[in-house]
Structure 1
């Protein structure tokens, strides 16, 4: 049986844990709200960029460009960007997205260039024996447009040198506050089918649009901006998903700790009562012995 001293120390430790898990819950909630506000502030611009790209693809189906392709090929050189986190204590968040990426990569027959975002992704793929081209460890501390731009500049440089033909991103999509889904989505090449959700007026589709100085130059300027926006959105989705999962994990940990505190308090009170009873018994026994000796 635990002593009163041991139970008291255990209670102190569990109370400290509750304070920590509550603080982590509140921090995650705050970071989710901040990330989604930033994402929404840029969403309008990138939706217009999607419309412009679809208009080019619809009206110029024969255009040839490094960003565009009729169909993708599993035998081509493929880059994977795997987005995880820098911390644990988020349930199966990191394991689920890394496993989904790994399964997709195993189906790729061509050369693979791997980029990891978050130290957990880097650790996972090193254990699996993969060579990592570049690690982005600080990005998931605070995803920003500038971080997405730097990442896409590295990808574009490799596309220019023909070392990459297609790009996939593995990230966790935040369907709702309680549902997060690991996804592996193609970022490049762009296909017309990628824009099925984009709607515009019939007269805009039928209108004759001139691209100055020419469509290829417009694509060269527009597509990198669009890709940067897509990647930024994926980073924010992953960031929000991470903190949503962590919020649930911390909430559950807090409730479990509070239940443990209740049980420990019962044990503590019982141990105190037993100690008091023991002391009273010893006093009464001692008094009885003294009284008998006096007589």
Structure 2
């Protein structure tokens, strides 16, 4: 076999192996997506109740006179941004979208590395902001494919402790929201301090509503808030990371499907090229044989 044909054959074999790998990765990502969607459905029942209670308290204007470390509104000297990305690549534009949009957010808010604290959930985001001179105050790598509530609770403890210690004066979460299996959208959600305005934004983004504005509370509004608000922060952060992880699995499945389809297209093109080259080689051989026979005659 001529050298050019051997080269084409090697490329076909290599591309077929690559296509098999990306096809397998697509199936794995699709299975993870289905698993996390089932998990999210069960979690929604809990988070809906927590959101409803806090929304009721907000409508009753209980927050206006309440005190607590999660409610403390103070002058903004440091802004915290919690960025959720993946720990690896092969997820299409998933990471680049959230990182680019977060840089745009920082620019629009006139923030700088000097007055911005980055909290990174996911290795890609942590490495990205470190290279650009930002202080990555907190990073968490290795979030499970289907995040567990207790895992996220450790993140919440660290985040709320930093807010209470004045590491930053406000906290915003930036992540990719799962729309459907073929698309996601960048979402920014203010988290701390908890105010009535913050709750209204949460309600608008998540669809949480309250049906009444006042009711009797026991033992006291302060005691209720002390118990409910940490759960609310946990619920919102856990929901955001679940949402982001769902979008990640969808993006990974789409990227691997595109890679597999591209591999098939490349194989078809190479096989056509191989057949044409082989046909040309055979034609040349026949011509040489015919010419040789004619010379003998």
Quickly name the TM-score band, shorter chain normalised: 0.7 to 0.9
What is the deviation of 1:11? 0.6
2:216 aligned with 1:208: yes
- 1:230 aligned residue (228, 236, 258): 236
| Aligned partner of 2:69 among 66, 73, 81 | 66
2:82 aligned residue: 81
Q: 1:35 to 1:48 in 2, by over 3 A?
A: same
1:57 CA displacement? 2.8
SS in 2 for 1:174: strand
Q: Report the equivalent of 1:49.
A: 50
Q: Per the alignment, do residues 207 and 133 of structure 1 end up closer, same or farther by CA in structure 2, a change over 3 Å counting?
A: closer
SS at match of 1:98: helix
Say yes or no: does 1:199 pair with 2:213. no
Aligned pair 1:190/2:194, yes or no?
yes
Q: Which of 261, 279, 286 is residue 280 of structure 1 equivalent to?
A: 286
Q: Tell me the equivalent position of 1:123.
A: 127
Which residue of structure 1 lines up, in the alignment, with residue 265 of structure 2?
Answer: 259
TM-aligned CA distance change 1:247 to 1:159, over 3 Å: same
Cα distance in 1 for partners of 2:277, 2:246 equals 46
Q: Deviations over 1:198-241 (max 9, x none)?
A: 43444xx443222x3x4333322221222112111111211121
- Hey, what does 2:141 align to over in structure 1? 137
Distance 1:141 1:238 in 2: 11
Select the structure of larger CA radius of gyration.
Answer: 1
Which of structure 1's runs of 4+ aligned residues deviate more than 6 A? none
In the TM superposition, what is the alpha-carbon distance from 1:153 to its structure 2 partner? Answer: 0.7
CA distance, structure 2, for counterparts of residue 230 and residue 246 of structure 1: 24
Task: Report the CA distance between 1:242 and its aligned residue.
Answer: 1.8
Superposed CA RMSD: 2.4
- 2:180 match: 176
Work out the number of aligned pairs and report it: 285
Is residue 224 of structure 2 the alignment partner of residue 218 of structure 1?
A: yes
Three-state SS of the structure 1 residue aligned to 2:240 is helix
Normalised by the size of structure 2, how large is the TM-score? 0.86
CA contact (8 A) 1:100 1:184 kept: no
The aligned counterpart of 2:256 is 250
1:2 Cα deviation from its structure 2 partner:
7.1
Q: Secondary structure at the match of 2:185?
A: strand
Query: 1:13: how far off?
Result: 1.3
Please, which runs of 5 or more residues in structure 2 have no aligned partner? none
Once the two structures are overlaid, the 10-residue window that deviates more, 218-227 or 34-43, is 218-227
Is the 2:55–2:209 Cα contact (8 Å) retained in structure 1? no
Instruction: Tell whether the 8 Å contact from 2:59 to 2:214 is kept in structure 1 after alignment.
Output: no
Conserved 8 A contact 1:118-1:140: no
1:70-110: CA deviation from partner (whole Å, max 9, x where unpaired): x785x243321111112222232212211222232342658
Shift of 1:19: 1.1
1:140 positional shift: 5.5
